[in-house]
Amino acid sequence: MSTIALAPSVQASIERPGKLVLVLRYLRRNKGLAVGLLILFGLVAFTVIGLLTVNTKNAYPLSVALKKPPSWKYPFGTDFFGRDLLAAMVVGMWQTAFIGVLAGGLGTFIGVVLGFTSAYFGGWIDGTIRTVCQVLAPIPVLLIQVVIAGSLDKRDVTIVTMALIVVLLAWMGPTLVIRAQVLTMKERQFVAVAKLSGVGDLGIIFKEILPCLLPFIAAAFVAQVFVAVFAAFYLAVLGLGPLREPLLGNIIWAAQSQGAIFNGWWWWPIIPSIAMILILGSLALINMGLDELANPRVRRTE
C-alpha cells in the first residue's frame, strides 16, 4: 500500500551514466534478454564464420563420405546422403534465419499496417479486420500451411515460398496486438492534444503513436520470427519443405525417414535438433525480455 514516495530530486541528483552502461546495467537485471541475445549472437557468429570458412557445397547430397560419426574431419558427422552436417548446419542456419526474418518482417509489417488502420479509423474497417482475425484465429495455422505446401508443385517449394506460405496465415497475431495498443494509445492525452492542435491523421500516426509503440513492434517482430521459424520447421519435418535444401527441419525429416535413431546414426537428427533448440530458445528468451521492457507491469517478477 503506502510505499515510499521517491522525490524526483533524489533521482535527478544521481549522475547519469553513459548509454552503454545503462544498457548493460539493464541487461544484468533482465537476465533472460541478456542470455537470449548472447545465444543469438553466438549463432550469428557461427553462421557467418561458417559461411566464410566452410565449403557450403558439402551441405548438399553426395559431397562427402556417407554416415560418418562426428570426428575431427567432420565435427558434426555426415549423413546417409553424403552431406557434411557442419556445412549443412551453416547453410541451414542461414536459411532458417532468412525465412524467419523475411516471414517475421512481412508478418509484422502487415500486422502493423492492419492494426493501425483498424484501430485508428475504427468503424466498419475495424469491424471487418477484427472479425477476419477472430475467425481465422482458431484455425490451426500449421495445418492450413500443410494444405498450401502440399498443393504446391515440389519444384515450386523454395526457401522464399516457404517464407510466403508462413506469412499467409501469420499476420493475425501482430494485427490484434498492435490494434489493442493503438486503441489504448488513442485514449492518451497527448494524442488528443495533437489532434486538437490540428495535426493530421498521418502526422499523429507517425509522429505521436508509432514511436511509443516501437518496443511493442519489436516484441511482435521477435514473436513473429519465432512463429515463422517454428512453422517452417514443422512443415519441413513433415516433408513439405524444399527437399534438396539442408533446412534444419528437412534434415530431421530425412533422418526420420531413414530410421536414423534405429540404425544408430544418432548425430544425424540430434545435431539439427540442438541447433533448433538454440534458435528457438534464444528467440523465446529475447521475446520474454522485450515483453518485460515494453510492458512494465510484468517487470515485477523478482
Partner 1 sequence: MNVTLVHSAVQPHVPMSIAAAEPVLRVRNLEVTYYTDSGRAKALDNVSFSLKAGEKLGMVGESGSGKSTLALAMMRMIKPPGRIEGGQVLVGDTDLMALDQEGMRKARLSRIAYIPQGAMNSLNPVMRIGAQMIDAVRSHLPDEPKPAVEARCKRALQSVDLDAGVFRMYAHELSGGMKQRVCIAIGILLDPDVIIADEPTSALDVVTQRQVMETIDNVQKAINAAVILIGHDMGLMAQFVDRVAVMYAGRLVEMSSVREMFTDPKHPYSRALIRSLPSLDNKGVFQGIPGLAPSLLRLPTGCAFHPRCDSAMPECSTARPEAQILPGGRSVTCHLFDGEA
Partner 2 sequence: MQARTIPTGKNHQECSVTLRFIIRRLVFLVLVIWAASTIVFFIPRLSNRNALRERFGELARTGGFSPADLEKIIASMQQQFGLDRPLLEQYWQYLHNVVRFDFGYSLYRYPSTVSDLIAQSLPWTIGLLLVSTILSFIIGNLLGGISAWPRAPRWMRSIATPFVLLTGVPPVIMAILLLFFIGFKLKWLPLGGAYSVGQVPNLSWGFALDLLRHQILPALSLILGSVGGWVLSMRGMGITIQGEDYVNFAEHKGLTAGRIFRDYYMRNALLPQVTGFALALGTVVTSAIIVEGLFGLPGIGTMLNLAIRANDFPTIYGIVLFITIAVAVLMTIVEFLYPLLDPRVRQS
Q: Which residues contact partner 1 (rule: CB under 8 A)?
A: 1-7, 9-10
Nearer to partner 1, 6 or 52 (CB): 6
C-alpha–C-alpha distance, residues 287 and 216, integer Å: 10
Number of residues lying near partner 2 (CB under 8 A): 47
Backbone angles phi, psi at 81, to 5 degrees: -95, 5
DSSP secondary structure string for all residues of 163-193: HHHHHHT-SHHHHHHHHHHHHHHHHSHHHHH
Reduced to 3 states (helix: H, G, I; strand: E, B; else coil), residue 247 is coil
Q: Is 247 in the site for partner 2 (CB under 8 A)?
A: no
Q: How many helices (H) and strands (E) does the chain have?
A: 14, 0
State yes or no: residue 105 binds partner 2 (CB under 8 A): no
Residue closest to 92 by CA, chosen among 64, 58, 63, 59? 59
What is residue 64's three-state secondary structure?
coil
Nearer to partner 1 (CB atom), residue 110 or residue 293: 293
Among partner 2, partner 1, none, partner that 10 touches (CB below 5 to 8 angstroms by kind): partner 1
The number of residues making up the chain comes to 302
106, 222, 240, 247: which one binds partner 2 (CB under 8 A): 240
Q: Which is nearer to partner 1, 3 or 189 (CB)?
A: 3
CB of 144 to partner 2, least distance (A): 6
Report whether 107 contacts 167 (CB < 8 A).
yes
Task: Determine which residue in the list 23, 135, 160, 214 makes contact with partner 2, applying CB under 8 A.
Answer: 135
Using the minimum distance from each CB to partner 2, give the nearer residue, 71 or 134.
Answer: 134
By CB under 8 A, tell whether 233 contacts partner 2.
yes
Task: Produce one character per residue of 109-135: b if its CB has 16 or more CB atoms within 10 Å, e if not.
Answer: bbbbebbbbbbbeeeeebeebbeebee
Q: Could you tell me the end-to-end alpha-carbon distance of the chain, in angstroms, rounded to an integer?
A: 18
Instruction: By CB under 8 A, name the one of 63, 158, 161, 256 that touches partner 2.
Output: 256
Taking the complex as a whole, how short is the minimal distance between the CB of residue 86 and partner 2, in angstroms? Answer: 19
Give CA torsion, residues 302, 32, 211, 117, to 10 deg.
Answer: -100
Closer to partner 1 by Cβ: residue 10 or 196: 10
Q: Which of 183, 212, 284, 294 binds partner 2 (CB under 8 A)?
A: 284
Is 265 a binder of partner 2 (CB under 8 A)? no
From partner 2, partner 1, none, interface partner of 189 (C-beta below 5 to 8 A by class) = none
Reference 141, options 238, 242, 228, 243; nearest CA is 228
Residues that bind partner 2 (CB under 8 A): 134-144, 146-148, 150-153, 230, 233-234, 237-240, 252, 256, 261-262, 264, 266, 269-270, 273, 276-277, 280-285, 288, 297-298, 300-301
